[in-house]
Amino acid sequence: MELVAGCYEQVLFGFAARPAESWTVVPDFTHHAHSASLSAVAVNNRYVVTGSRDETIQIYDMKKKIEHGALLQHNGTITCLEFYGTTHLLSGAEDGLICIWNTKRWECLKSIRAHKGHVTSLSIHPSGKLALSVGTDKTLRTWNLVEGRSAFIKNLKQNAQIIKWSPDGERYVTVITNKVDIYKLDTASITGTITTEKRISSLRFITDSILAIAGDDEMIRFYSCDSQKCLCEFKAHENRIKDIYSFEREGQHVIVTASSDGYIKIWNLDLNKIKDMPSLLCEVNTKARLTCLAVWLDQASEVKENSDKAATSSQANEDEKASIVKVKKVCRTEKNDTTAKRKRKIAPEKQTLEAPLQKKKKRRKSLA
């Protein structure tokens, strides 16, 4: 298990997390991934991808611990990244595009003009047939991934910053500043609203009906999607919380949090005692201003990510039908020829991710 986190200082951190009687987190690698701050990170069972303000997406093979290449399809900050199983990656950026990538050859299958403004967030339905996106044009858009086209557009009163499907795909939520609207899939109507005092920066489904919400304060709060009531709240960090990740291991619900205070913390949540504060398993100080977080779970460890339950169960059928994105392997863009020359995958010489100690030695030599 690997904790991966990006920061304003342009570094990608990797920490090996070792679950045992007492959890330990050991620094595994640091990598100067980009020429600007990291803005998004996503994982599947093999790869970690990072997005940045430098307009690139970097790919890392976590099994081989090497840098795999870069994707240069977007113009503008990469705002969101999400894998669907082992086959596809969706990316969104400030250029208003959503790009669909095949993760076998890292080809751009389709480039969709998704929003008139920035794409702020996207989420793939567990079936892989639908995706939702929100942008700065005050719209929520539904995408048919089977045909690679728009299916529905809903106008919002304000710009939404986050959108997320529940693990069972029966509902989805949007975040507008400090407000969470909960929608039912079958009616596409709001069934409830959660309002917090501070701006929300991160949101995660712990179960199909329990949300973990964090934002511009030191608190994490668990809410019921059915009653919209706060089930528990506790102080997790000394500064605002930038990202939350969750997964399930051998029946144990684990939550990982990253904060501007530089700490990554791992918590154990007992769903039978949801009103009690989660117990802290371990923590690590990165001494950086963290921006994004993910947990890479090796399949061999038999660890199952909480948010991928429904996707995993339907993955075999979906792969057989090849239902996601049946389009030609051509990257369609509305750019001119000069920018199009830049729009292709870059596959640099593979580089091993640097261990922290190795990096210090290199710096000492350069100073000498």
- Give the tens place of pLDDT for each residue, 54-102: 999 999 999 888 999 999 999 999 999 999 999 999 999 999 999 999 9
Would residue 10 count as lying in a domain? Answer: no
pLDDT digit string (tens) for 173-190?
A: 999 999 999 999 988 899
| Residue 236 CB contacts under 8 Å (≥ 6 apart), including other chains | 214, 218, 219, 220, 257, 259, 265, 267
CATH label of the domain that carries residue 252: 2.40.10.480
pLDDT at 346: 37
What is the spatial distance between Cα 91 and Cα 109, in angstroms, rounded to a whole number? 12
Count the neighbouring beta carbons within 10 Å of the beta carbon of residue 308. Answer: 20
Tokens 């000394």 locate to 238
- Rounded mean pLDDT of the chain? 85
This prediction has a pTM of: 0.83
Would residue 227 count as lying in a domain? Answer: yes
Please report, as a single letter, which amino acid is at residue 206.
I
Would residue 8 count as lying in a domain? Answer: no
Taking 70 as the pLDDT cut, the residues of the chain under it are: 299-368
Would residue 284 count as lying in a domain? Answer: yes
What is the spatial distance between Cα 108 and Cα 328, in angstroms, rounded to a whole number? 10
Domain tally, the chain: 1
Contact criterion met (CB below 8 Å) for 75 and 95: yes
Give the domain extent around 238.
204-301
Would residue 41 count as lying in a domain? Answer: no
Strand arrangement, sheet containing 88-93: 78-84, 88-93, 97-102, 107-113
3-state secondary structure of 164: strand
What is the spatial distance between Cα 84 and Cα 330, in angstroms, rounded to a whole number? 20
Would residue 144 count as lying in a domain? Answer: no
Would residue 83 count as lying in a domain? Answer: no
pLDDT at 298: 79
The two most distant CA atoms of the chain are separated, in Å, by 67
Contact criterion met (CB below 8 Å) for 225 and 171: yes
Please report, as a single letter, which amino acid is at residue 352.
T
Would residue 12 count as lying in a domain? Answer: no
Both tokens of 108, joined, read: 């751009």
Alpha-carbon distances, residue 320 vs 71, 131, 325 (angstroms): 27, 20, 13
pLDDT at 335: 38
| Residue 132 CB contacts under 8 Å (≥ 6 apart), including other chains | 122, 123, 125, 140, 141, 142, 143, 163, 165, 172
pLDDT at 313: 46
pLDDT at 355: 61
pLDDT at 233: 95
What is the spatial distance between Cα 332 and Cα 98, in angstroms, rounded to a whole number? 11
